[in-house]
Amino acid sequence: MILSVDASPYLDQTLGTSGLRKPTGHAMQPHYVALFMQAVFAELDVAGATLVVGGDGRYFNDEAIQTILKMAVAHKVGHVVVGRGGLLSTPAASALIRARRAKAGIILSASHNPGGPDGDFGIKINAAHGGPIPIAVSDAIHRRTRTTSHYAIADMPDIALDRDGRHQVDGCLIEVIDGVTDYVALLETLFDFDRIADLFRSGFTMRFDAMHAVTGPYATELFQRRLGLPAASLMNQIPMPDFGGLHPDPNPHHAADLVDFVAGRAQADFGAASDGDGDRNLIVGRGLVVSPSDSLAVIAANAHLVPGYRGGLAGVARSMPTSRALDRVAASLGVPCHVTPTGWKFFASLLEAGLITICGEESAGTGSNHVREKDGLWAVMMWLNILAERRQPVAEILRDHWQAHGRDYYQRLDFEEVDAAAAEDLMETLRRRMPLLAADLAGRLTVTEVNDFAYTDPVDGSMATRQGVQIIADEARIVYRLSGTGTRGATLRVYLERFAPRGEDHRRLPAEALAQVQALAMQVADVSRFTGRTSPSVIS
Ligand code: G16
C-alpha cells in the first residue's frame, strides 16, 4: 500500500559543496529526510530506473535508508542496489553507479564531519556518471524542497540489510550486495598487487587508520587479505555509528595517533588514513606528513610507474585553493592543468569528457578517471605502488620532487563555527577592497593579481562565480573562502602558499616558511576583528 503523507516544507534544505549536511538532531525532525527525498525523486524522475544506495554507517543512516527504500518502492523505482549493512564508501558507490548503469546514487554521509546524535548527518546525490550532481540539478532540488508538502512512501516492513539478498517488492527489486568485492576488483585493474605484496614481504611497514568509518571492511580485504599486511597494522577498522567518538577527518589534528606513530616516533615506514565515507586520504611518511597538495603532485609525477596509468595522463586538475605544485608537474609533463572551484562535481565534468586523468584538492581528496569521486584508498594504493617501484623512503621521494620542481610551502587555516553574518561581512569587505590590495601590500608582497575566482566549465559552459578571493603574488598566494560543508555557523578557510624554487632550502617547517604570509593574511582581511579569533581552530 502506498501512503501519501502531508507535511510542512522545510525551508533550509540547501545543498552545499557536497549535498545536504545538517546536525543529526536537525535531520531527525519529523518528515525531514522524506520531504527532501520526495524533491530528489521528483527532480530525477526515477520511475523504472536503477538507483544505488549506501552510506558511511553513521548514526541515523539505517533509519534513513529504510525510509529511502520504502519511498523508492512508492516512486516505482525498478531496481535499488544497496550496500550490505547500508554501507558503501563514496568511491565504491561511484563505481557501482557506473557498473550498474544506474540513473543516480544516494550516499548517506556527512563525509569527514563527526557522527552520532550530537554530530552531523548528510545526503549526497550522485548522477548517472557516478559523480556529484551538477549545481543546476542541486539548485533545482533545493527549489522543489521549498514547496514540497507531501511525500509518497510504501507501507511495508523494513528490508533486512544484514546479509546479501534480493527482495522483490511491488515491482521493485531491492538487491543487497557486499560493497567491497567489486571495488577491490576495480583496484586490481589499476595496481600491481604482486609488487605491493612484495614490498610488504620485504619488511616495509605500514599503519592504516580507518577512523572507525566506512573503509574498515575495504581496508581489511585489500591490505590484509589481498596484500598480506599484518592485522595489527590496521587501526580503528570496525565501522561505528559515532566513529568511536572520533572525528573522522584524516588530517594531522584528528589523526594525531597515526601521525605520532609514523611521523613523530618513526615506528612505521608509511601511514595512511581515510575519512567517514572513504573519499579523503592522509599520507604520512617516517618523520613527515605529506601535504595533500604535495601528495597530488607526487602522484601525478609518478603515475607512469603504476600499471593503470602507464599510457600517460590526458591532463590534470586541481581546485583553486590547492597549491600550484601540480601546475609545475603538468608543465614538465606537457599536459594541461585545469583549475576548478572547490567541489568534486567540477572534476567529474572534466573526467567524464576525458580531459583529465588525475585530479585532487588541498582538502585531502585525490582521484582519477576510474570513478567520478575522490578515492581515499586509491590514493593510498598509488603511493604504495610508487613506493614498491621506487623503493625509497617517502621523505626521499618528496625531497627529490622538490629538487626537481621547487617546493610550494602550504597551509590551510580554518576558523570554525564563527558567526555566519560576520564571516559574510569579512568576505564582502574583502571583495570591495580588492582593487586596493596590491597597493596596500606593496613592499611586503609583489602582488600580480587579485580576483574573486570565477570558472566556466569547458565542457558544458556552465559558470560558477564568487568562489573565493585570491591574492596572487610572485612569491606567494593567499586565498580566502567560506566552507560549504559546515553545519554550525560559518567556517572561514584561509589558504597560504609560498614558493621556494629549485636550489632554495626545502627543509623548513611550513609554519616557519609561511609565518610572514600568515601575518599578512590575518591583517589584510582583518580576520581577528571579524571572527573574534586570534588563531585558527585547525591548521592542516
Ligand atoms: C567536499 C567536496 C570537496 C571539497 C570539500 C570541502 O568533500 O567534494 O571538493 O574540497 O567538500 O569543501 P569546503 O571547503 O566547502 O568545506 P567531502 O569529502 O566533504 O564530501
* Residue located via cell numbers 586538475: 317
> HEC string of 45-99?
CCCCCEEEEEECCCCCHHHHHHHHHHHHHHCCCCEEEEEEEEECCHHHHHHHHHH
Give the total number of structural domains in the chain: 3
For ligand 1, the distance from its centroid to the CA atom of residue 112, given in whole angstroms, is: 9
Which strands sit side by side in the sheet containing 270-274, from one edge to the other?
234-235, 206-209, 270-274, 281-285, 288-290
Of ligand 1's atoms, which has the minimum distance to the CA of residue 362? 10
Query: Are 370 and 411 members of one domain?
Result: no
C-alpha cell, 280: 579523503
Output DSSP code: residue 181. Answer: H
Q: Pick the closest to residue 404 from 518, 302, 274 (CA basis).
A: 302
Q: What pLDDT is stored for residue 373 in this prediction?
A: 97
Which CATH number is 472's domain given? 3.30.310.50
Query: Are 14 and 95 members of one domain?
Result: yes
Output DSSP code: residue 190. Answer: T
For ligand 1, the distance from its centroid to the CA atom of residue 18, given in whole angstroms, is: 6
For ligand 1, the distance from its centroid to the CA atom of residue 196, given in whole angstroms, is: 30
**If you take atom 1 of ligand 1, which residue's CA is the nearest one?**
18
Taking the CB of residue 187, how many other CB atoms lie within 10 A of it? 20
**If you take atom 18 of ligand 1, which residue's CA is the nearest one?**
111
**Letter for the amino acid at 502?**
R
Which CATH number is 206's domain given? 3.40.120.10
Distance CA 12, CA 146 (A): 8
Q: What pLDDT is stored for residue 26 in this prediction?
A: 97
Of ligand 1's atoms, which has the minimum distance to the CA of residue 132? 8
For ligand 1, the distance from its centroid to the CA atom of residue 514, given in whole angstroms, is: 24
* 435 burial level (CB within 10 Å; 0-12, 13-18, 19+): exposed
Catalytic residue at 111?
A: yes
Q: Looking at 373, 405, 437, which one is the last position of a domain?
A: 405
Of ligand 1's atoms, which has the minimum distance to the CA of residue 280? 18
Ligand 1 probe mutation, 14, 15, 18, most atoms within 8 A of CB: 18
Rg, C-alpha atoms of the chain:
23
Ligand 1 probe mutation, 339, 342, 482, most atoms within 8 A of CB: 342
Ligand 1 probe mutation, 485, 487, 493, 537, most atoms within 8 A of CB: 485
Of ligand 1's atoms, which has the minimum distance to the CA of residue 481? 14
C-alpha cell, 362: 588541498
Query: Are 72 and 125 members of one domain?
Result: yes
Residues 6+ apart with CB under 8 A from 162: 84, 85
For ligand 1, the distance from its centroid to the CA atom of residue 380, given in whole angstroms, is: 19
Distance CA 180, CA 35 (A): 31
Maximum CA pair distance of the chain?
A: 73
Query: Are 126 and 237 members of one domain?
Result: no
Q: Looking at 389, 405, 421, which one is the last position of a domain?
A: 405
Query: Are 509 and 530 members of one domain?
Result: yes
For ligand 1, the distance from its centroid to the CA atom of residue 68, given in whole angstroms, is: 24
Give the range of the structural domain holding residue 270, as residue numbers without chain letter: 183-405
C-alpha cell, 479: 586565498
Query: Are 310 and 365 members of one domain?
Result: yes
The catalytic residue among 109, 111, 349, 540 is 111
Task: For Cα atoms 16, 19, 25, give the angle at the middle one, nearest 5 degrees.
Answer: 95
DSSP element (H, E) containing 486: none
Distance CA 416, CA 482 (A): 10
Per-residue pLDDT of the chain (540 residues; tens, 9 = 90+): 999 999 999 999 999 878 999 999 999 999 999 999 999 999 999 999 999 999 999 999 999 999 999 999 999 999 999 999 999 999 999 999 999 999 999 999 999 999 999 999 999 999 999 999 999 999 999 999 999 999 999 999 999 999 999 999 999 999 999 989 999 999 999 999 999 999 999 999 999 999 999 999 999 999 999 999 999 999 999 999 999 999 999 999 899 999 999 999 999 999 999 999 999 999 999 999 999 999 999 999 999 999 999 999 999 999 999 999 999 999 999 999 999 999 999 999 999 999 999 999 999 999 999 999 999 999 999 999 999 999 999 999 999 999 999 999 999 999 999 999 999 999 999 999 999 999 999 999 999 999 999 999 999 999 999 999 999 998 899 999 999 888 889 999 999 999 999 989 999 999 999 999 999 999 999 999 999 999 999 898
**If you take atom 17 of ligand 1, which residue's CA is the nearest one?**
111
Query: Are 93 and 210 members of one domain?
Result: no
**If you take atom 19 of ligand 1, which residue's CA is the nearest one?**
111
Q: Is the distance from CB of 126 to CB of 104 less than 8 angstroms?
A: yes
C-alpha cell, 390: 621506487
For ligand 1, the distance from its centroid to the CA atom of residue 388, given in whole angstroms, is: 30
Query: Are 468 and 512 members of one domain?
Result: yes
For ligand 1, the distance from its centroid to the CA atom of residue 240, given in whole angstroms, is: 22
Q: Looking at 162, 177, 192, which one is the last position of a domain?
A: 177
Of ligand 1's atoms, which has the minimum distance to the CA of residue 343? 9
Of ligand 1's atoms, which has the minimum distance to the CA of residue 277? 18
Query: Are 226 and 80 members of one domain?
Result: no
Of ligand 1's atoms, which has the minimum distance to the CA of residue 347? 9
Query: Are 369 and 414 members of one domain?
Result: no
Query: Are 527 and 424 members of one domain?
Result: yes
Question: Which residues are near ligand 1 (CB < 6 Å)?
Answer: 17-18, 111-112, 279-280, 342-344, 361, 363, 365, 483-485, 493
Query: Are 362 and 419 members of one domain?
Result: no
